[in-house]
């Protein structure tokens, strides 16, 4: 029951990170290795605002806004000039992630930190004791995912995003500007990752290396689900989320080995089913 309950919450929060990663890849064909940094920026920005005696709700908004701003700056200053050079984008975004890690370590030090809980108290679900702030994180993540999926499938903005992802040249012919859509999607994707960081910060641990595991898990989810497949991303988030908690609860030193298991999932998927669960076979 610990695995089931905690796995559901973990699946929802890491789905936020993976959904943004998948959107950016699907629309712009960009593999953004700095995506995990948005998770960290959101958490640390909310923590800094909280330390400045701002209300927690305001601190949370600041955390998400800081992540979105970071996404816009990354696109305008780093990605835009080299957008069509895939290897250069990989190297540049990885360099940005390392730079952000160094900046966080410089300003906040290497000590573990934690954001105060948004709500106090605990609750029991199927015999599993949870802090209410954990349950809130899972519910908020789930609601956000549903809203994003509805926007993508039911709104004019979502149709533009799907048009660019399907065929960029055809989208241009009907008046869509792909570079602007990519910018908006990168900002939204960064905001989703930042929101995940804010939601996890009250019961997780803030460290300068906290961006690595979310990035690895997002990468595994996108590959397992199928590159560019939103439905596949949601399905794979459930698989990786429950696997995360299963390893944490049932394997010795599981908290340390979660990253290794995630990498194993990436390798196994690439070897056995390169197109992922719901991805299309490349032609």
Q: Percent of the chain, pLDDT > 70?
A: 97
Q: Percent of the chain, pLDDT > 90?
A: 43
Q: What is the average pLDDT score of the chain? A: 88
Concatenating the DSSP letter of every residue in 162-215 gives HHHHH-HHHHHHTT--HHHHHHHHHHHHHHHHHHHHHHHTTTS-B-TTTTHHHH
Q: For residues 28 and 14, which has the higher predicted lDDT (pLDDT)?
A: 14
Residue 197 has pLDDT above 90, yes or no: yes
Residue 283 has pLDDT above 80, yes or no: no
pLDDT in tens, 139-161: 999 999 999 999 988 888 888 88
Mean pLDDT of 257-264: 82
Question: Does residue 89 form part of some domain?
Answer: yes
Counting the structural domains of the chain, the total is 1
| Contact (CB, 8 A) for 2 and 206 | no
Q: How far apart are the first and last CA of the chain?
A: 43
**Residues linked to residue 113 through DSSP beta bridges, in sequence order:** 206
Question: Does residue 97 form part of some domain?
Answer: yes
pTM: 0.91
CA dist list (Å): 110 to 11, 28, 66, 140, 206: 28, 34, 21, 29, 9
In residues, how long is the chain? Answer: 283
Residue 278 has pLDDT above 80, yes or no: no
Question: Does residue 169 form part of some domain?
Answer: yes
Tokens 């108290």 locate to 121
Q: Locate all alpha helices (DSSP H) within the chain, ordered by sequence.
A: 2-28, 35-51, 56-73, 86-108, 132-154, 156-166, 168-173, 178-200, 212-225, 230-250, 254-272
Residue 144: predicted pLDDT: 94
Question: Does residue 165 form part of some domain?
Answer: yes
Phi, psi of 130 (to 5 degrees): -125, 145
Question: Does residue 213 form part of some domain?
Answer: no
| Contact (CB, 8 A) for 118 and 202 | yes
Mean pLDDT of 229-257: 82
Residue 86: predicted pLDDT: 87
Q: What is the DSSP letter of 77?
A: I
Tokens 């008046």 locate to 175
Tell me the C-alpha distance between 158 and 281, whole Å: 24
Question: Does residue 170 form part of some domain?
Answer: yes
Residue 279: predicted pLDDT: 67
Tell me the C-alpha distance between 222 and 239, whole Å: 12
Mean pLDDT of 161-166: 82
Residue 163: predicted pLDDT: 83
Residue 232: predicted pLDDT: 87
pLDDT in tens, 49-108: 999 999 999 999 999 999 999 999 999 999 988 888 888 999 999 999 999 999 999 999
Nearest Cα neighbor of 71 from 162, 164, 194 is: 194
In whole angstroms, what separates CA 93 from the centre of its chain?
15
pLDDT band at 129 (very low <50, low <70, confident <90, very high): confident
Residue 94: predicted pLDDT: 94
Our CA dihedral for 57, 60, 62, 68, rounded to 10 degrees, sits at: -140
Tokens standing for residue 273? 């089913």
Residue 13: predicted pLDDT: 92
Domain interval for residue 121? 2-207
Mean pLDDT of 126-135: 86
Question: Does residue 256 form part of some domain?
Answer: no
Residue 4 has pLDDT above 80, yes or no: yes
Residue 280: predicted pLDDT: 63
Question: Does residue 119 form part of some domain?
Answer: yes
């Amino acid at each position: 029951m610990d695995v089931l309950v905690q796995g559901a919450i973990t699946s929802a929060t890491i789905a936020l990170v993976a959904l943004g990663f998948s959107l950016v890849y699907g629309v712009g064909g960009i593999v953004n290795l700095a995506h995990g940094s948005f998770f960290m920026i959101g958490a640390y920005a909310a923590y800094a605002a909280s330390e400045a005696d701002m209300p927690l709700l305001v601190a949370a908004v600041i955390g998400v806004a800081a992540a979105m701003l970071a996404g816009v700056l990354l696109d305008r200053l780093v990605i835009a000039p080299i957008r069509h050079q895939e290897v250069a984008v990989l190297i540049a975004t990885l360099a940005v992630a390392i730079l952000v890690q160094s900046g966080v370590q410089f300003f906040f030090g290497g000590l573990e930190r934690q954001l105060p809980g948004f709500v106090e108290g605990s609750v029991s679900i199927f015999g599993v004791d949870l802090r209410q702030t954990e349950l809130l994180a899972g519910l908020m993540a789930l609601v956000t995912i549903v809203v994003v999926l509805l926007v993508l499938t039911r709104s004019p903005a979502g149709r533009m995003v799907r048009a660019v992802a399907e065929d960029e040249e055809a989208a241009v012919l009907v008046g869509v500007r792909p570079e602007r859509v990519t910018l908006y999607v990168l900002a939204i994707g960064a905001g989703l990752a930042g929101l995940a960081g804010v939601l996890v910060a009250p019961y997780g641990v803030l460290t300068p290396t906290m961006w690595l595991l979310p990035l690895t898990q997002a990468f595994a989810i996108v590959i397992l689900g199928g590159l560019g497949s939103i439905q596949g991303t949601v399905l794979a988030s459930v698989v990786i989320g429950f696997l995360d908690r299963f390893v944490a609860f049932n394997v010795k030193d599981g908290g340390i080995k979660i990253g290794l298991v995630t990498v194993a999932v990436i390798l196994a998927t690439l070897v056995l089913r390169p197109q992922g669960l719901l991805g299309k076979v490349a032609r």
